[in-house]
Amino acid sequence: MQAFLLKRLGQAIVTIFGVATLIFFLQRLTGDPTYLLVPETATPADIEAMRRSLGFDRPIIVQYLAFLTDLAQLDLGRSVIQNVPVTTIIASRLPYTVMLAAGALIVACGIGIPVGILLALWRNSPVAKLLASLVLAAQSMPTFWSGILMILIFAVTLGWLPPSSTGGFENLIMPSIALGLLSMATFARITRTALLDELSKDYVRTARSRGAGLGWILVRHLARNASIPIITVAALEISNLLAGAVIVETVFAWPGLGQVTVQSILARDFLVVQGVVLLGALVTIGLNVLADILYSIVDPRIRLGGVR
Amino acid sequence: MNAAVATSAPPRSRRFRYATWLPLGLVTIFVAAAFLAPYVALYDPNQQNLLARLKAPGFVSRGVTYWLGSDELGRDLLSRLIHGARISLFVAFASVILSGTVGVLLGMLAGYMRGVVEIIVMRVVDIFLSIPAILLAIITVAVLGPGLVNVIVVLALTRWPRYARVAYGQTLGVANMPYVRLATFMGAGPGRILFRHILPNIIGAVTVVATLEFGLMVLFEAGLSFLGLGVQPPTASWGAMLSTGRNYLATAWWIATFPGLCLFLLVLAINLLGDDLRDRFDPRLQ
């Protein structure tokens, strides 16, 4: 187990290093990164001063090493517009995005997993076919459209829910559903496939021949075995939800990381954008490692295979 | 192939008609609208009429009928939707071709050459895939700036690893086949092996991925334009139209509703086609 963990963590660190390198060179895609950080009205003297103060006049290798050193110390630089550390901005916005992603995950699992179970158990019935089409429709719906439709119906027309911004629990309902619907389809699909895989196995037939009811088999045997792929997908979906929050937050004026990212791009505050992207990658990599660890706890065969 | 999946799928002959022709018909309508936009669209998509601002569907002004209503500058929504199909499909097509070509080439090379090439290419793929796609696209737009060409470049840059991973996996499976080794024996060079013997065998799987990616690229372009980072006004883009419509939800519901409906139908049709293709080519593909 330890060897497996170490190997997996080692890979993760290499990937994080790679992401940092990629972002560093991405910034220099158009040449001088100073232009990403100054307002469009800046004079040549301002630009030169900024270039010096940020150290962009140094040799590129020195800049690269300085960039990595800062990152290792969790220093993401300062916002040019707000003149506060990027980490402070991220820390103030992060709770909102986490809240939204959690709400969306509850919607996605809460609807997706039961729907997936129904799709697997009643796989040839008309109900399952109808459900399957609804799932596909939900997957094809852009979040910015489903969000706007919900605002139109439930806020503007019916007046049941507040159209946007924060406040109480009711402000979280529509954004969570808009964001969660997308992942709901993924959960339904993976649950269906995982269950069908397991249902065809010998132990299920044996259990049934002993007279066990389908409900009992589902709880006693299938839940554990079918949960493996679902866990992995859940971990990967969380990073999708965080990324999807960028658009949903803009639709609902939700003051999370996504909103601040979009605002920062429009205001040419590049370091904030960079900070959010680095955080997104870090979370994704972390969740992947977590999924692998959970996976190996549920199924020891994977851990043993991983060591070899 | 897995027994459960096989039994769960209805017989192909019965599925064939609806699952293939319905979405294909829908996609054809959008493609036709895109190609024939200047002829099909009744009016100039950028023609403003300040006397006919925010008018409901069916409004008639100065002999012009606004079938789907007009926007905040009095432009005909239907004509803008038809021209928007052009942008949507062009960006998706160009970025799929670009990222597909780069990704498949690198993936095949990694799977065929193995060794250092394999390690470098697949590590870079891992790195790209560990940044959430929307965020990678956004930061690249932040560097390059918005605009039609940049959006295509950004999407290609963001999505090639997906193809590389599939092409790599498929090539690994094919490269050790007896016929490939025989071809090597008989003196075929790497180029001939890759393009004559490996590519035709992996193109099916790549096509399935490309189809699903096409739908995703339509959504990405619309998403970037919605955020104001994509195609710039006054060019008609569904995403940008939705974004404008958001400001007029209480007074003019049609501005946001119809572009979204187009997006939804196009992406749904593409996803249905992709699912159908996947069922035919390879049931084990994710």
Query: Can you spell out the DSSP letters for B46-90?
Result: T---GGGTTPPTTEEETTEEETT-B-TT--BHHHHHHHHHHHHHH
Q: Is the pLDDT of residue B152 over 90?
A: yes
| Mutate: best of A14, A276, A277, A282, partner B, most B CBs <10 A | A277
Q: Give the pLDDT of residue B3.
A: 42
What is the helix (H) or strand (E) element at residue B110, kind and residue range?
helix B77-113
What's the pLDDT band for B201 if we cut at 50, 70, 90?
Answer: confident
Determine, for residues A144 and B239 on separate chains, whether the beta-carbon distance falls below 8 Å.
yes
Phi-psi region of B146 (alpha: psi -120 to 50; beta: other; left: phi over 0): beta
Distance CA B135, CA A274 (A): 9
Stretch B256-269: mean pLDDT: 90
What pLDDT does B286 receive?
A: 41
Chain B, 79-138: which have a CB under 8 Å from a chain A CB?
A: 123-124, 126-128, 130-136, 138
Contacts 24+ apart (CB under 8 A), A261-265: A261/B135, A261/B138, A262/B138, A262/B227, A262/B228, A262/B229, A264/A79, A264/A81, A265/B138, A265/B141, A265/B142, A265/B229
Average pLDDT, chain B: 83
- Reported as a single tens digit per residue, the pLDDT across A184-196 is 988 888 888 888 8
Scanning B167-226 for CB atoms below 8 A from A yields 215, 219, 222-223, 226
Res A148: pLDDT: 87
Nearest CA in chain B to A135: B268
Distance (Å) from the alpha carbon of B217 to chain A's nearest alpha carbon: 12
CB contacts of A285 in chain B (<8 Å) are: 130
| CB-closest option in A123, A136, A199 to B271 | A136
Q: Is pLDDT of A44 > 90?
A: no
Mean pLDDT of chain A: 82
- pLDDT, tens digit (0-9, with 9 covering 90-100), for A106-140: 999 999 988 988 888 887 888 888 888 888 888 88
What pLDDT, on a 0 to 100 scale, did the predictor assign at position B109? 92
Instruction: Report the range of poorest mean pLDDT among A201-210, A296-305, B4-13, B64-73.
Output: B4-13
Substitution target from A23, A119, A122, A140 for chain B, most B beta carbons within 10 A? A140
Quickly tell me which residue has 């658009």 as its tokens.
A247
Cα separation, A21 vs B251, whole angstroms:
48
Give the per-residue pLDDT at B159.
92
CA distance A240 to A121: 28
Is the separation of the CB atoms in A97 and A245 below 8 Å?
A: yes
Instruction: Tell me if A270 sits within 8 A of A27, measured CB to CB.
Output: yes
Mean pLDDT across A273-277: 89
CA B45 to chain centre: 23
pLDDT digits (tens, 9 = 90+) for A207-257: 878 877 777 777 777 777 777 778 778 877 888 888 888 889 988 888 888
Cβ separation B144–A29 shorter than 8 A: yes
B130/A284 CB distance under 8 A: yes
Portion of chain B with pLDDT greater than 90, in percent: 23
Q: Which residue has the tokens 């997006």?
A: B263
Interface test with A, best of B26, B125, B139 (most A CBs within 10 A): B139
Q: Which residue of B has its CA nearest to A242?
A: B132
Query: Are A280 and B132 inside 8 Å of each other by CB?
Result: yes
pLDDT of residue A303: 59
Mean pLDDT computed over B21-45: 82
Question: Per 3-state DSSP, what percentage of chain A is helix, strand, and coil (rounded to 5)?
Answer: 80, 0, 20
Dihedral Cα A100, A144, A187, B127, nearest 10 deg: -80
In whole angstroms, what is the distance from residue A305 CA to residue A295 CA? 12
In this model, does residue B50 exceed pLDDT 80?
A: no
Beta-carbon separation of A142 and B143 below 8 A: no
Can you tell me the mean pLDDT for B29-58? 76
Which of B121, B138, B224 would best serve as a mutation to test chain A binding (most A beta carbons within 10 A)?
Answer: B138
Instruction: Give the Cβ contact number of residue B178 at 10 Å.
Output: 7
pLDDT confidence bin for A1, thresholds 50/70/90: low
Q: What type of residue is A59? A: P
Q: What is the ipTM of this complex?
A: 0.84
pLDDT for res B100: 95
Quote the DSSP letter at residue B198.
I
pLDDT band at B184 (very low <50, low <70, confident <90, very high): confident
- Chain A residues touching residue B275 (CB < 8 angstroms): 136
pLDDT for B282: 57
DSSP state of B9: S
Give the best residue of B7, B121, B126, B127 to mutate against chain A (max A CB count within 10 A).
Answer: B127
Residue B217 has pLDDT above 60, yes or no: yes
Subunit contact A137:B223, Cβ cutoff 8 A: no
- For residue A143, the model assigns a pLDDT of 86
Contact partners, residue A226, CB within 8 Å, separation at least 6: A191, A194, A195, A197, A198
Point out the residue among B133, B140, B264 whose CB comes nearest to the CB of A142: B264
CA B269 to chain centre: 12
Residue A222 pLDDT: 76
Chain A touched by B63 (CB under 8 Å): no
Q: Rounded CA gap, A133 and A130, in Å?
A: 5
Neighbours of A183 (CB within 10 A): 27
- Which of A109, A57, A100, A48 has its CA nearest to residue A231? A109
pLDDT (tens digit per residue) in A23-42? 888 887 776 777 777 777 77
pLDDT (0 to 100) of residue B97? 96
Of B127, B138, B249, the CB nearest to A152: B249
Q: Is 70 exceeded by the pLDDT of residue B5?
A: no
Q: Show residues of chain B in contact with A137, CB under 8 Å.
A: 264, 268
| Paired strand residues for B219 | none
B246 CB neighbours in chain A (<8 A) are 148, 251
